[in-house]
């Protein structure tokens, strides 16, 4: 089934966007150059469940789900009804705090193991800035050991200040630290995921200088058994604040986050994305000991008290518990992977879909990285033409049902057949209507 319309209007608007919005999009992952430029839709008009509609009128089954924000699916009826009621009955941010803040704080404290106190904000990068600031204040130290992607702010991008011409082979290729004060060089120090030695070395060589270890505990794959427990021990030994960046894992891998799934409790954790089902909200949770430092700090913003998005978060968390959503997406993710992998086997492609099920990675097995790029771009291109938005990494949600899988499989079958044919004939590059998808940046945690 091919999409009925082209994407002319999307690209007309994109031209205009490049004139009035630097970069054309607000989030780098929404830039069409990262997918199949010229074929990938750029602008949408509506989203519901696991689908969105582009400005040209095409409908897509979405497997990326707005980089993982909507675990209940777009425009969930329960969450939206609560939000509408809040707007009508409470209104927006008042002069004094809304009592909803306490209800939400209590709900998070009852759900997340490390949470004894909570602060709110509006997004993931922002939550990390708050956590880093508190950790620095709590320890009186400046340096940060990190592993993973943690947002766009100075403390993090400063990691690239010292890389000079080696940026491309460095940790965050594609992210130039333009505008980041050079004085921050040497304050954000990377370590490798699942490599304890790399963390231990860092802690030893910067003894007494590191305020926090901030890391994604997992992404698509479970960490090696015992790894996070050892990280916990190292943090305690070196009196470093351990922060789990749960912006992706929180309320997705487990209702209690990665810390709940793996049974390792950090000192602080940050949440956004899945916490509020698409409404802009973030939270920093942590032990009373560490979070109390914030009593004396200037950490403050007008819209952090907004009751509308707090309502979205509160309702989302309660709906997760009621529907057992995290168990559902894990099981459904495994079904989706098994069905796709069966087709991959049928077509004998160097490819597999792998992961916990909550997050699924598409793993190509070519020796030549250019082949991987070409195959991925061709895959995205042909999926898009068949009304599937699959950038090669899934964030499944409550609306991805077995019926949706039935809709997807014949389209995937067609796409895999084309890839097989292209590989047999050796003409993958010639089939690209799109320019090669640019790698936005490489993440450190798989």
Ligand X SMILES: Cc1ncc(COP(=O)(O)O)c(C=O)c1O
In the bound state with ligand X, the residue whose beta carbon lies nearer, of 241 and 344, is 241
**Sequence-distant (≥ 6) Cβ neighbours of residue 185 within 8 angstroms:** 158, 161, 162
Judged by beta carbon, residue 269 or residue 375, the one nearer ligand X is: 269
Site string for ligand X, 91-130 (x = CB under 6 A): --------------------------------xxx--x--
Q: Given the complex with ligand X, which of 67 and 185 has the nearer CB atom?
A: 67
Is the Cβ–Cβ distance between 60 and 82 less than 8 Å? Answer: no
- Does 250 bind ligand X (CB under 6 A)? Our answer is no
Among 62, 76, 245, 330, binds ligand X (CB under 6 A): 245
Considering the complex, what minimum distance in angstroms separates the CB of residue 443 from ligand X?
A: 8
Other residues' Cβ atoms within 10 Å of the Cβ of residue 129 = 23
Q: Closest CB to ligand X among 130 and 344?
A: 130
Placement of tokens 């050796």 in the chain: 426
* Contact call for residue 150 and ligand X (CB under 6 A): yes
Counting residues that bind ligand X (by CB under 6 A) gives 14
Q: Looking at 151, 190, 250, 266, which residue binds ligand X (CB under 6 A)?
A: 151
DSSP output for 205-262: HTTTTEEEEEE-S-SSSPPPTTHHHHHHHHHHHTT-EEEEE-TTTBTTTBTTHHHHHH
**Closest separation between CB of residue 334 and ligand X, Å?**
22
Q: Does 274 bind ligand X (CB under 6 A)?
A: no
Q: Which is nearer to ligand X, 199 or 404 (CB)?
A: 199
Q: How far apart are CA 84 and CA 103, in angstroms?
A: 18
Query: For the chain, how many residues are written?
Result: 446
Residue 127 CB, nearest approach to ligand X (Å): 8
| Those residues with Cβ within 8 angstroms of residue 112's Cβ, 6 or more apart along the chain or in another chain | 250, 256, 257, 259, 260, 269, 271, 285
Of 24, 49, 148, 333, which lies in the binding site for ligand X, with binding defined by CB under 6 A? 148
Kindly state whether residue 247 participates in binding ligand X, applying the rule CB under 6 A: yes
Q: With binding defined as CB under 6 A, does residue 67 bind ligand X?
A: yes
Out of 39, 161, 272, 375, the only residue in the binding site for ligand X (CB under 6 A) is 272
- Cα distance from N-terminal residue to C-terminal residue, the chain: 33
Nearer to ligand X, 259 or 381 (CB): 259
Backbone φ, ψ for residue 269 (5° rounding): -145, 150
Our CB check for ligand X shows the closer of 32 and 250 to be 250
- For ligand X, which is the closer residue by CB, 216 or 390? 216
Lookup: tokens for 360 = 């699924």
Those residues whose C-beta lies under 8 Å from the C-beta of residue 106, and which sit 6 or more positions away, are none
Hey, what are 34's tokens? 């990262």
The reply on whether position 216 binds ligand X by CB under 6 A is yes
Rounded least distance, CB 21 to ligand X, Å: 17
Q: Does 320 bind ligand X (CB under 6 A)?
A: no
CB of 432 closer than 8 Å to CB of 376: no
Both tokens assigned to 10: 């999307």
DSSP state of 313: H
CA nearest neighbour of 363 among 382, 346, 344, 389: 344
Q: Which residue is nearest to ligand X (CB)?
A: 124
Contact 104, 120 (CB under 8 A): yes
248 binds ligand X (CB under 6 A): yes
Verify binding: residue 418, ligand X, rule CB under 6 A: no
Give me 74's structure tokens.
Answer: 């777009």
Nearer to ligand X by Cβ, of 128 and 326: the residue is 128
Q: Which of residues 376-405 bind ligand X (CB under 6 A)?
A: none
**Rounded least distance, CB 151 to ligand X, Å:** 4
Stretch that binds ligand X, among 136-144, 244-252, 337-345, 401-409 (CB under 6 A): 244-252
The residues of the shown chain that bind ligand X, judged by CB under 6 A, are: 67, 123-125, 128, 148-151, 216, 245, 247-248, 272
């Amino acid at each position: 089934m091919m999409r009925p319309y082209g994407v002319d209007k999307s690209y007309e608007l994109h031209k205009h966007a490049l004139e009035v919005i630097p970069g054309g999009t607000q989030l780098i992952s929404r830039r069409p150059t990262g997918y199949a430029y010229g074929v990938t839709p750029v602008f949408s008009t509506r989203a519901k469940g696991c689908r969105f509609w582009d400005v040209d009128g095409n409908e897509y089954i979405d497997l990326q789900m707005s980089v993982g924000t909507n675990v209940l699916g777009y425009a969930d009826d329960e969450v939206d009804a609560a939000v509408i009621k809040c707007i009508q009955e409470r209104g927006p941010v008042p002069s004094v705090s809304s009592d909803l803040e306490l209800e939400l704080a209590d709900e998070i404290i009852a759900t997340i193991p490390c949470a004894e106190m909570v602060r709110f904000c509006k997004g993931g990068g922002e939550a990390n800035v708050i956590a880093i600031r508190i950790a620095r204040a709590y320890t009186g130290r400046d340096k940060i050991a990190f592993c993973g992607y943690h947002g766009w702010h100075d403390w993090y991008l400063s990691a690239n200040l010292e890389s000079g011409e080696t940026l491309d082979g460095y940790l965050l290729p594609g992210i130039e630290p333009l505008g980041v004060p050079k004085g921050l060089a040497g304050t954000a120090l990377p370590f490798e995921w699942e490599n304890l030695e790399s963390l231990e070395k860092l802690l030893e060589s910067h003894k007494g200088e590191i305020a926090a270890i901030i890391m994604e505990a997992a992404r698509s794959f479970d960490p090696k058994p015992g790894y996070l427990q050892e990280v916990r021990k190292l943090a305690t030994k070196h009196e470093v604040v351990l922060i789990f960046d749960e912006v992706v894992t929180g309320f997705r891998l487990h209702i209690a986050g990665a810390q709940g799934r793996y049974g390792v409790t950090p000192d602080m954790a940050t949440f956004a994305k899945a916490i509020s089902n698409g409404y802009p909200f973030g939270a920093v949770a942590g032990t009373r000991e560490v979070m109390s430092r914030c009593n004396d700090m200037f950490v403050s913003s007008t819209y952090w008290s907004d009751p509308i998005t707090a309502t979205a978060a509160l309702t989302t968390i309660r709906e997760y518990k009621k529907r057992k959503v995290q168990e559902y997406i894990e099981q459904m993710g495994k079904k989706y992977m098994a069905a796709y992998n069966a087709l991959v086997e049928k077509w004998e492609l160097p490819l597999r879909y792998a992961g916990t099920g909550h997050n699924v990675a598409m793993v190509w097995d070519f020796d030549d990285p250019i082949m991987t790029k070409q195959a991925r771009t061709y895959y995205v291109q042909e999926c898009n033409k068949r009304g599937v938005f699959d950038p090669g990494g899934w964030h499944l949600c409550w609306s991805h049902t077995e019926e949706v899988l039935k809709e997807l499989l014949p389209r995937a079958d067609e796409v895999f057949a084309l890839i097989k044919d292209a590989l047999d004939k050796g003409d993958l590059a010639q089939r690209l209507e799109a320019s090669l998808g640019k790698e936005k940046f490489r993440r450190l945690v798989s």
